[in-house]
A and B are shown apart, each in its own frame.
Chain A
Amino acid sequence: MKRFFSLNSSAKRRPSRRGPVVNASTLRHAFDRRAFVIGGMQYGVGILLAGRMAYLAIAENEKYRLASESNRVNLTLIPPRRGWIMDRNGAPLASNRADFRVDVIPERLADPEKTIDEIGALLALEPTRIADIKSKLEGARGFAAVEVASGLNYEQFAALSVRLPDMQGVLPQRGFSRYYPTASSVGHLIGYVGPASAEEYELDRNPILITPGHKIGKDGLEKQFEQRLRGTPGARRVEVTAGGRVLRDLESREDIQGDPVKLTIDGPLQDYAARRIGLESGSVVVMDCQTGDLLCMASMPSFDPNSFSDGIGSAEYAMLREDQRVPLRNKVLKGLYPPGSTVKPMHCMAFLKAGISPQETISCAGGRRIGNRFFNCWSNHGTVDMAKAIYQSCDSYFYHYAQQIGFDKVAEMAKDLGMGQEFELPVTSQFYGTVPDPDWKLNKFDREWEPFDTVNASIGQGYYLASPLQLAVMSARLATGKRLNPRLILNSEAPSPPDYNFDADEITYIRKAMSDVVNGPGTAGRGRLPLDDVKMAGKTGTAQVVSLSVSDGRSGPWKYRDHGLFTFFAPTENPRYAGAVVIEHGGGSGAAYPIARDVMTFMFDPQKGMDALTSLERQWGGTAQQRLDQRYAAYAAERGAEVRPPPRRDEDIFDQVEAEARVAAEQTQEIGETFVAPRPTANPSGTPPPDAVTPSTGIQSSNPAAAPTTTPSGPQASGAN
């Protein structure tokens, strides 16, 4: 416009200033001039448009061609099938099964609430599940897919697919989902999978992490071996409309399945042990005495990794949180307990090394005077030598000799045999417990070591804390005299653990005494294996968590009851397997050693072991998984609507569990501030906690004898891989 005026004004202004010299001729001239200028302006616009178009089409052609291609072509990553996690015999502990699933992309939803309601109605989802999805959507990052449901059948999938044109941002797809055949039995060991969180995507900007349907390891071995299990995503290039409708496939590349991880775990044994724990809260560890292979690391009660992998539901989470048996805690690694009398054989080894002859005796008069104070034994044992001290678990003997050689030496032996140690294992975390000694006490509490500390520690009480894994390692090292290290991943190289400098005589002596605990005049007579050719040796332990004045350890509030412990190995003469059983608040060792007995029976004679379990599970109301499912159904029906949702990040859940486990361990140590007077019973046991009672919803007849066959029931759906 400017050019127009500047061209014109000089010509026009002169006449108008001079006055109204306007006639037909000047108007005609003005018209011609101005029409000419307008024409010129139109040409100008035309040239501008042509130039602009040439610029777009030639100079920026490359850029816009790319933009057009990226509009047209959509690259979809196909989540790779995850590598299997297998037991030592190649049976899957974690596999994949083909299924149909549906995700939503939050940023593409026009009306999230309405869409979720529609999908919920279509798939008949539970109201709690719908509420969970909505709350998850609120906190979700726009681009990352949120799982709505998985494991759909074909009819549901088809019903949803038909309605897709009206549902922007809803992605039904065929894929593979993680499947754990033995479910809760391997929950703590294997962990579970879930969609990557925002933080995980920040750390690893791999586009596969935000691909709908792709899940990564969230806990346990799934997390530890994430990179190895992940595999290589496949890809599909498709032509899509602006609305997201796929017109045709351009090319596609198959995914490459992740590498498998082979564990030392014996799948059937793991499942058996987990189920055998029954209504109690505890853990069972079994090690191979030649290689250190961990055959079983069961921690119960547990969560169902299948259900966690679908997303942790509010009701499910609340139920697990409220259970005082802490089903979210992996007790094998993060349960710390006073080892109680189970350390006595190991302490005896320390005495032997300090030059105490096994034949030396003391007199137990229902206790022993140490310094100027009398400390009770749990019973009056009369004259006691080393063997009797072990099989009768005489406390006085240990008070006396620990005081005599000094607890430093005992602690040294304890640490050498694995107490207070961490092991090289592919686990997210493990607690190392405490072997108390004067230095440690001074450091921690700024107090001097007192004689009663030696007394407490000599019988595995007081500040002493150990995890079930450490107890199993101690048991295996003591039984073999070899520095066995636990291992979890099976590889070809057979470890050759170095010997301790134990004499064969010493080892034989301790083995014999421990055998007598079970097979002789010892404290665990009912622990004898129901087998003719194999004998089990062991040591009972009852760990007090509060002083005698608070509780008798067997009745009263569950959390005040004694822990029941048992370390064992079998066969007695040439140990092949060793292990430990710890039952939290089981009321005493009587709760622990029958489990060890049945687990070892199963090891040598699976049928006999299974029979024992079957009859027990009939009383309990089904297998562990069946009881968990029933409890959940009852809980969701009763409380489902009013529960608080779980933390947004899965990491928070387990951080919280770990923090609580540390606090629990600290609390256990509080008892060490005074002398812990032993219980006056040999191997007591209490009743399971009220939490464990399964609601009788009538489902319990559903074949509790679902045996953990020698190969765990394989993936059930078609196309599993």
Chain B
Amino acid sequence: MREPRWLPWARWVGLGLLTLFTVTPLYVMATTAIKPLQDVQGDFNWIPTRISLAPFADMWSTVPLAKYFGNSLVVSSVAALISVTVAVFAAYAISRFRFPGRRVFSITVLSTQMFPGILFLLPLFMIYVNLGTAIGVELYASRLGLIITYLTFSLPFSIWMLVGYFDSIPTALDEAAQVDGSGPIGALLRVVIPAAIPGIVAVAIYAFMTAWGEVLFASVMTDENSRTLAVGLQGYATENDVYWNQIMAASLVVSVPVVAGFLLLQRYLVQGLTAGAVK
């Protein structure tokens, strides 16, 4: 592609502004986390005058952060894992089979993206309580309940993206496998899934992030033992003081694993989107 002469300039200005917009909050998060509380409460300073690592030490005791972290990790990973598995099967059915109800199913699943969370928060909560009592498994205020909730949050987008991805894998490949004696499931496991790894990883990242960041359901459907970071972080605004530096330190710590994981795997996300959904 021929580039006009002004383009490099426009590129640096445009990208520079975008970088500034993106990075400033991150910079403030990082620098506030190492300021003593007094310096945080006064006028803002770009450069910390005094550096204190105390927020990183105190944040574990102001709020049982480690426990919430563990909960978030368990809930998000398991939700992502199950969500991906369920989505792979459903997407395979939609992509490779023509069956009555296929369209209705796809549209219904996608349309759940429109549901305002508020509408089904209370009913869902009632269902969990009653179902939990009926089958003897605690769903309300348990990590299991959260896992089930979150995995369905990411399902519609995941199925949709994987259908696109599977569609892009030539059916000749799995037909060849079926001629070799594998059933449709065998073809899925042996041909389609290996060919769709980028899409699957992308969906897993998406599912994990959805669960890691959810606030509304977490604030009603958890108790102290199942509380996740999304709710736990509110604990730094106590009756006593708002520990901004600890909030930032904790935000930093809870963000690093997701962001690092995301950045490591983002090329899969791009590939997944490229081959699948974005056609």
Tell me whether A and B are bound partners: no
